[in-house]
């Protein structure tokens, strides 16, 4: 029987949730806000409020350097994780890109491979799926369907984009089709060979296997289906007792079939308050933690502030030496010359005293 490892109480109903591929951070959408936790200690690192309506989807890039957020306000935002971590607690960092080309709520997001150079796909109720470039923020492709799109994913080679519709259909869009067009219309009657048919209600999630041969789909018709992409045939149907909201294909962990397998490190309790505030200091949370960002610095000046202050002092000293106050330098030189003269006199007296003792033996 599965054991509950940790129960995390959130500030409100969670509408979307994701973890960074490197396992260090967890993102959750609660109403209009994005909450960022650090997994190793449970600290709440940031609360981002840049959406105007409830969050619907979140996803990380494969290198965990960026994450994307979509909401009912029709906006998809691209965030640089390290800019978020470096931001002052009193400031809300700006997203790297704001994509506002959808006219109805965003329903799903998907990121390809390549970290900050990757391409990302967005799906919306406005019956379009769009492909973007994260580095430049440019729109690469917009495909118009005859139904609202609820789910989107890319295969590993990024030759195809799969889109799940509200009517239960799954559409396969060729990204390498010729001629290249930024705006395309997917006409179902002409492309029957590129439609997966079987679900009786809206498709909520899609996932492609690592070899690119299988497609997994979940739907509100209470089933999960496994498809052969080449033939568009349904290989397996798994029934559930309610609408399927999420399903994806992952590599099996090493201890999956070990009945005694347990997590090597238990999860700490996740904080309800931003790290650094008085409310977040809870007793009994001792330990050694390695972190990044200004929010983890000691009270007082941050590292960046100290570095800037030291640089300004060095610059002022160099400026004084180059341009500086000649009278002040003259006084310093005269004081040093006087001190050297005194030291020479003391050294001479010591030498004479030692010489007399050596040349005049005791009687």
User: For residue range 158-180, what is the model confidence (pLDDT) as tens digits?
Assistant: 999 999 999 999 999 999 877 77
Q: Please say if the pLDDT value at position 286 is more than 60.
A: no
Q: Please say if the pLDDT value at position 108 is more than 60.
A: yes
Q: What percent of the chain has pLDDT over 70?
A: 81
**Mean predicted lDDT score pLDDT of the chain:** 84
User: For residue range 219-245, what is the model confidence (pLDDT) as tens digits?
Assistant: 999 999 999 999 999 999 999 999 999
Exposure string over 318-340, b if 16+ CB within 10 A, otherwise e:
eeeeeeeeeeeeeeeeeeeeeee
Residue 351: per-residue pLDDT: 83
Q: What percent of the chain has pLDDT over 90?
A: 57
148 confidence band (pLDDT: 50, 70, 90) = very high
- This prediction's pTM: 0.73
User: For residue range 298-340, what is the model confidence (pLDDT) as tens digits?
Assistant: 444 555 665 566 666 655 655 555 445 666 777 888 888 888 8
Closest CA relative to residue 112, chosen from 148, 147, 83, 141: 141
Residue 177: per-residue pLDDT: 78
Residue 359: per-residue pLDDT: 78
Residue 238: per-residue pLDDT: 96
259 confidence band (pLDDT: 50, 70, 90) = low
Burial zone of 122 (CB within 10 Å; 0-12 exposed, 13-18 middle, 19+ buried): buried
255 confidence band (pLDDT: 50, 70, 90) = confident
Q: Which residues contact 206 (CB under 8 A, 6 or more apart)?
A: 151, 152, 153, 162, 163, 164, 170, 215, 216, 217
Dist. CA 137–CA 124, nearest whole Å? 18
* All domains of the chain in start order, with CATH: 11-100 (2.40.10), 110-250 (2.130.10.10)
Q: Please say if the pLDDT value at position 199 is more than 60.
A: yes
Dist. CA 202–CA 199, nearest whole Å? 7
Q: Please say if the pLDDT value at position 289 is more than 70.
A: no
Tell me, rounded to whole angstroms, the distance of Cα 102 from its chain centroid: 23
Of 34-43, 144-153, 312-321, highest mean pLDDT: 144-153
């Amino acid at each position: 029987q599965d054991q509950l490892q940790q129960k995390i109480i959130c500030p409100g109903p969670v509408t979307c949730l994701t973890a960074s591929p490197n396992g260090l951070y967890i993102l959750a959408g609660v109403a209009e806000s994005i909450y960022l936790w650090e997994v190793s200690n449970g600290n709440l690192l940031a609360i981002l409020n840049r959406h105007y309506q409830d969050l619907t989807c979140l996803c990380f890039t494969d290198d965990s350097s960026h994450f994307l957020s979509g909401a009912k306000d029709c906006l998809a935002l691209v965030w640089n994780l390290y800019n978020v971590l470096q931001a002052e607690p009193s400031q809300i960092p700006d997203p790297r890109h704001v994509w506002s080309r959808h006219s109805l709520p965003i329903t799903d997001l998907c990121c390809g491979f390549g970290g900050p150079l990757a391409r990302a796909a967005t799906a919306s109720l406005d019956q379009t799926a769009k492909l973007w470039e994260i580095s430049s923020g440019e729109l690469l492709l917009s495909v118009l369907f005859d139904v609202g799109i609820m789910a989107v994913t890319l295969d590993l080679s990024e030759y195809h984009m799969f889109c799940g519709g509200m009517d239960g259909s799954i559409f396969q869009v060729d990204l390498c089709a010729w001629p290249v067009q930024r705006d395309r219309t997917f006409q179902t009657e002409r492309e029957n060979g590129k439609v997966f048919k079987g679900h009786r209600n809206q498709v909520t999630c899609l996932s492609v296997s690592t070899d690119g041969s299988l497609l997994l789909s979940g739907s509100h018709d209470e089933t999960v289906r496994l498809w052969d992409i080449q033939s568009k045939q349904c290989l397996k149907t798994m029934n559930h007792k309610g609408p399927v909201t999420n399903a994806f294909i992952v590599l099996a962990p090493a201890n999956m079939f070990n009945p005694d397998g347990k997590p090597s490190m238990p999860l700490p309790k996740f904080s309800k308050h931003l790290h650094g505030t008085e409310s977040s200091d809870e007793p009994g949370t001792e330990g050694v933690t390695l972190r990044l960002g200004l929010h983890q610095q000691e009270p007082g000046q941050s590292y960046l502030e100290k570095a800037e202050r030291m640089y300004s002092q060095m610059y002022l000293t160099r400026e004084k030496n180059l341009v500086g106050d000649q009278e002040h330098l003259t006084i310093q030189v005269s004081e040093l010359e006087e001190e050297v003269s005194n030291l020479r006199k003391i050294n001479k007296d010591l030498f004479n005293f030692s010489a007399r003792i050596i040349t005049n033996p005791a009687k």
